[in-house]
Structure 1
Amino acid sequence: MNGTPRVRHAHRADLPRVAELAARHAEYEQATPPPDDLPARLAGLLFDTPAPRLRCLVAELPDGELVGYATCAPELCTWEGREYLHMDCLFLLPGHRGLGLGVLLMDAVAAEARALGLGEVQWQTPTWNDGAVRFYDRLGARAKQKWRYSLPITP
């Protein structure tokens, strides 16, 4: 890579590309693809509300290509009576992993936590994602094993 890649907050114009990256992320995790209107939904969460909770960071190459993203939002820990920053997604396209972009994204997420006055970031990764597990372990993160459930609610 010539030049220096960077991580920055997503702009509204980035959202179609973020949606493409989210679709690749879902495919990688063998999950249901995002809805077709994801860019509009993200715009609503990031830009069209007076006090957005969601933060979206993008990994940008020197030529302007977006090759990864991370999203995060404050959440509550009832047991400890405090907030933490929940990182919902972190994804880099294959071919751009192992180049330091993941560390840049994690540093940016940690900076979001500090800016919000939060002392912890929490996230999940599939147990089969050995590359992510090794990456997070190298960062000094500690894993806590739990099952993640999802209950669809019908109107």
Structure 2
Amino acid sequence: MSAHEGGPGRAVVRHADPEDLPRVVELVAEHAAYEKAAPPAPGLADRLAGLLFGPEPARLRCLVAALPDGTLAGYATCAPELSTWDGAAYLHMDCLYLAEASRGHGLGPLLVAAVRAEARALGLPRIEWQTPVWNEGAIRFYDRLGADSREKRRYTLPATP
């Protein structure tokens, strides 16, 4: 995927590099706090390194929004998933997050454009994601992009009782 460049200041969205992991982990922790979730478990950088850059084909893709000075202002992660109803694959965008100071400057649309390009490169017809129902700013952003929403409740259950 080629880098997606912004307007003034020329912010760039690109695939994360191994050197980006410390900042990506910081952004993930900020994202968890923003969503009122538990902080990431220790060792996240190592687990992400394996998923993104390990010897196996990448199971997770991470796109980062880099400001002109090189500072990472946000990230989006995505991975191919399967739909039973469609009998086909799609790209699941697991996370999209911008540091608070970087919101409203056009980086969100750049990240989404990069995720769309990733889906096209993988030959996948669509992207799906979720956002908390209380996150009105994200909902307005996704609505402005023309995305369709479907209400569902997300559940998690440990694999062991």
TM-score bracket, normalised by the shorter chain, equals over 0.9
How does 1:6-155 map onto structure 2 within 5 Å? Answer: 6-154=12-160
Distance 1:130 1:17, change over 3 A: same
Question: Deviations 1:48-81 (Å, cap 9, x if unpaired)?
Answer: 1321121000000000000100000000000110
When the two chains are superposed, the root-mean-square deviation of aligned CA atoms in Å is: 1.3
The answer to whether the 8 A contact 1:2-1:62 is kept is no
Q: 2:34 and 2:157 mapped to 1: Cα distance?
A: 22
Give the TM-score taking structure 2 as reference length. 0.93
Q: Distance in 2 between matches of 1:83 and 1:14?
A: 28
Paired positions, count:
155
Runs of 4 or more above 3 Å deviation: none
Percent of residue pairs bearing the same amino acid type: 65
Contact 1:85–1:120 under 8 Å retained in 2: yes
> Which blocks of at least 5 consecutive residues in structure 1 are unaligned?
none
Which digits, 9 at most, give the CA deviation of each residue in 1:14-70, with x for residues without a partner?
A: 001100000000000000111121111100001113211210000000000001000
Query: Cα distance, 1:154 vs. partner?
Result: 3.0
Distance (whole Å) between structure 2 residues aligned to residue 23 and residue 38 of structure 1: 10
Gaps of 5+ in 2: 1-6
Distance 1:33 1:124 in 2: 19
CA displacement at 1:137 relative to structure 2: 0.2
Per the normalisation by structure 1, the TM-score is 0.97
Alpha-carbon distance in 2 for matches of 1:5, 1:124: 25
